[in-house]
């Protein structure tokens, strides 16, 4: 039976799924740069941020000196962007927070944070490889064949996928290589901070080590973002393998 999500302002959701849907729909009602002007929306977000500070945050309080207002802003990373809620405190300091994490009520695990840092270490190179494939092999219509289905897809409909080994396996092997089978040593990953959208390696040298390790193993392919047919084979289909080396 689903466990209800109860917020301190009296809002009660029958399940985490229902709570997440509520805040997803709220986010969709505003445009990037808008202040969250509705009183009930502000109240719900304030209570959700209390839940984030209590159950999720392992760093400084997101509420801090107090809440002035909430805004919808566009979060940006290497090759991606997504809208999200930001809180502006009474001392005029802003910070982001994840409503999904707040609803879930749990911080990211050590393994999740480490995987995110690994992906951030190679994301620019992955984005550049995808762009090169379209620059060199797309037809006049700007389309390229999905490596699984053969269907033609445009840049926005395509993704660069790890065929073998999977990205998660590369991450685990790197941790083994470094002797970090258990917890990652303190100071390897960036600590939680205001406006830090994602976790990175605190040491650029470690980031370069993972990049080189990844590039020596990864075999990639261009596939469509739409769900491909499920293959009965345990060996991934790779018609046009892409390698960094």
Q: Domain check: are 85 and 114 in the same one?
A: no
Residue 242 is assigned to a structural domain of this protein: no
| Kind of pairing between the strands at 12-13 and 5-6 | antiparallel
Q: Domain check: are 41 and 136 in the same one?
A: no
Residue 208 is assigned to a structural domain of this protein: yes
Residue 56: strand, helix, or coil = helix
Residue 140: strand, helix, or coil = coil
The pLDDT of residue 107 is above 80: no
Residue 93 is assigned to a structural domain of this protein: yes
Compute how many other C-beta atoms are within 10 angstroms of the C-beta atom of residue 236.
17
Q: Domain check: are 120 and 206 in the same one?
A: yes
Residue 240 is assigned to a structural domain of this protein: no
Enclosing domain of residue 67 = 5-104
pLDDT tens-place string over residues 63-88:
998 999 999 999 887 667 889 999 99
Give me the chain's average pLDDT, please: 89
Q: Is 165 left (phi over 0), alpha (psi -120 to 50) or beta?
A: beta
The pLDDT of residue 236 is above 80: no
pLDDT tens-place string over residues 200-234:
999 999 999 999 999 999 999 999 987 555 554 55
CA separation, residue 34 to residues 29, 30, 38, 71, 213 (Å) = 10, 6, 11, 6, 43
Q: Domain check: are 33 and 90 in the same one?
A: yes
Residues 159-195 as b/e (b if ≥16 CB within 10 A, e otherwise) read: bbbbbeeebeebbbebbeeeeeeeebeeebbbebebe
Residue 1: predicted pLDDT: 65
Distance CA 204, CA 46 (A): 36
Look at the chain and report how many structural domains it folds into: 2
Residue 232: predicted pLDDT: 46
Q: Domain check: are 150 and 200 in the same one?
A: yes
Distance CA 117, CA 168 (A): 12
For residue 84, what is the domain's CATH number? 3.10.450.40
For 158, residues 6+ apart whose C-beta sits below 8 A from its C-beta are 130, 134, 144, 146, 222, 223, 224, 225
Residue 233 is assigned to a structural domain of this protein: no
Residue 50: predicted pLDDT: 94
Q: Domain check: are 162 and 96 in the same one?
A: no
Structural tokens at position 159: 């993704």
For residue 165, whether the previous peptide bond is cis, meaning omega lies within 30 degrees of 0, is yes
Is residue 49 within 8 Å of residue 98, measured between CB atoms? no
- Altogether, the residues listed in the chain come to a count of 245
């Amino acid at each position: 039976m689903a466990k209800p999500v109860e917020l301190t302002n009296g809002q009660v959701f029958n399940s985490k799924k229902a709570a997440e849907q509520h805040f997803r729909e709220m986010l969709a009602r505003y445009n990037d740069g808008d202040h969250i002007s509705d009183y009930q929306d502000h109240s719900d977000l304030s209570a959700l941020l209390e839940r984030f500070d209590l159950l999720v945050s392992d760093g400084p309080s997101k509420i801090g000196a107090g809440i002035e207002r909430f805004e919808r802003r566009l979060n940006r990373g290497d090759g991606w962007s997504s809208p999200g809620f930001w809180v502006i405190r009474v001392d005029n300091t802003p910070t982001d927070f994840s409503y999904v994490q707040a609803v879930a009520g749990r911080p990211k695990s050590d393994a999740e944070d480490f995987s995110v840092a690994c992906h951030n270490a190679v994301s620019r190179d992955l984005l550049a490889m995808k762009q090169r494939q379209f620059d060199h092999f797309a037809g006049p219509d700007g389309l390229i064949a999905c490596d699984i289905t053969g269907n033609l897809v445009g840049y926005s409909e395509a993704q660069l996928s790890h065929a073998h080994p999977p990205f998660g396996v590369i991450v685990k092997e790197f941790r083994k290589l470094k002797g970090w089978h258990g917890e990652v040593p303190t100071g390897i990953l960036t600590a939680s901070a205001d406006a830090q959208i994602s976790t990175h390696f605190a040491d650029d040298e470690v980031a370069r080590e993972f990049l080189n390790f990844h590039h020596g193993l990864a075999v990639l392919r261009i596939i469509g973002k739409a769900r491909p047919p499920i293959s009965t084979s345990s060996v991934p289909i790779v018609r046009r393998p892409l390698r960094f080396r």
